[in-house]
């Protein structure tokens, strides 16, 4: 089945203590779509400007990413610039230029409106809800969010949580939205806000998954070679949603466990190069091999 992905598409400039690159493909939807495309066809919705490279449309086409829903508007593409410290965990935003993204209001092509699986990548919750208003009876909806929306659009976010099946957020965001220090308590409280499932990302410490009476803790794949953490969370979300769309019709908790492992594996590849460069060169064989290694290292008692 296809996966509908709606989010930001950007051109990034990223600086680390040892490297600096500009005009990189970025944005939540870009990373998520590239990751998801390994498992299912993707229908992509976003907006770009006159300066956006035509070569990226060719890349999407080569990866079964349908870009009919990507609007090309007059003006410049959304641009973001950030700088990482030596530990590559702390990041400072140097500049943001919303440009054509400032007035983006997702409009789904008619052919997208019956897509069964939906990933609402990290954009304002009011826009995420606007997308759901246009989708006809989706089977499973995943939404990513961030601290900005918790702080500035809480009412919209609360309304969105009642309409989705899985919410993905990181550990600090889970604590902020619930005012709980314990992530276990935070995950359970977020479930009571509406979503059937909650995934909490913990960066290099893995991720947690919560269901009604079920819980799963996933480690992170250990890496020696990290170049750019940008987009790792979006890649995680895209890997999860893409796996679900490509392999299951009715989602159960064990499917989500597998999806979380695949999301973690894709994210581990993402950080090995700047932008999407590692994902561009990745193969299904690479993913399968790391997935199996991940299972062996984690020593899961229940087959996944």
CATH number where 113 lies: 3.40.1190.20
Structural domain contains residue 294: yes
Q: Tell me if 157 sits within 8 A of 180, measured CB to CB.
A: no
Q: Which stretches does DSSP call E strand in 61-121?
A: 65-72, 79-84, 91-97, 117-120
Q: Is the residue at 271 inside a domain? A: yes
Tokens describing residue 114? 């019956």
Cβ neighbours of 33 (radius 10 Å): 34
pLDDT digits (tens, 9 = 90+) for 183-204: 999 999 999 999 999 999 998 7
- Spatial distance between the Cα atoms of 275 and 279, rounded to a whole number of angstroms: 9
In a domain, 44, yes or no: yes
pLDDT band at 298 (very low <50, low <70, confident <90, very high): low
Q: What is the pLDDT of residues 135-150, one digit of tens each?
A: 999 999 999 999 999 9
d(CA 3, CA 37): 9
Count how many domains the chain has: 1
- Residue 303 inside a domain? The answer is no
- Residue 304 in domain: no
Strand 207-210, strand 197-201: pairing: antiparallel
The pTM score is 0.94
Write down the residue that tokens 């246009």 correspond to.
134
What range does the domain containing 235 cover?
Answer: 3-298
Quick check: is 198 in a domain? yes
Q: What are the structure tokens assigned to 177, written together?
A: 């939205």
User: pLDDT per residue over 51-80, tens digit each?
Assistant: 999 999 999 999 999 999 999 999 999 999
């Amino acid at each position: 089945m296809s996966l509908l992905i709606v989010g930001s598409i950007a051109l990034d400039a990223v600086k680390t203590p040892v490297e600096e690159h500009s005009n990189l493909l970025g944005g939540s939807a870009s990373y998520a779509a590239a990751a998801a495309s390994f498992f299912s066809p993707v229908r992509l919705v976003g907006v770009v400007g006159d300066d956006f490279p035509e070569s990226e449309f060719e890349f999407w086409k080569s990866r079964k990413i349908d870009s009919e829903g990507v609007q090309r508007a007059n003006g410049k593409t959304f641009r973001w610039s950030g700088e990482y410290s030596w530990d590559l965990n702390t990041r400072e935003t140097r500049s943001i230029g919303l440009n054509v993204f400032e007035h983006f209001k997702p409009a789904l092509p008619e052919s997208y409106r019956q897509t069964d699986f939906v990933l609402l990548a990290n954009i304002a919750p009011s826009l995420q809800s606007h997308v759901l208003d246009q989708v006809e009876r989706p089977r499973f909806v995943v939404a990513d969010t961030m601290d900005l929306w918790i702080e500035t659009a809480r009412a919209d976010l609360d309304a969105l949580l009642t309409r989705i099946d899985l919410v993905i957020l990181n550990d600090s965001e889970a604590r902020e939205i619930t005012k709980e220090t314990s992530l276990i308590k935070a995950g359970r409280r977020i479930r009571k806000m509406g979503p059937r499932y909650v995934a909490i990302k913990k960066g290099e410490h893995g991720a947690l998954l919560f269901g009604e009476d079920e819980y799963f803790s996933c480690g992170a794949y250990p890496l020696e070679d990290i170049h750019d953490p940008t987009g790792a969370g979006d890649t995680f979300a895209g890997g999860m949603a893409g796996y679900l769309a490509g392999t299951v019709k009715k989602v159960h908790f064990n499917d989500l466990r597998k999806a979380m492992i695949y999301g973690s594996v894709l994210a581990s590849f993402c950080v090995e190069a700047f932008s999407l460069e590692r994902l561009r060169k990745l193969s299904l064989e690479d993913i399968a091999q790391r997935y199996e290694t991940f299972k062996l290292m984690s020593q899961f008692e229940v087959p996944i």
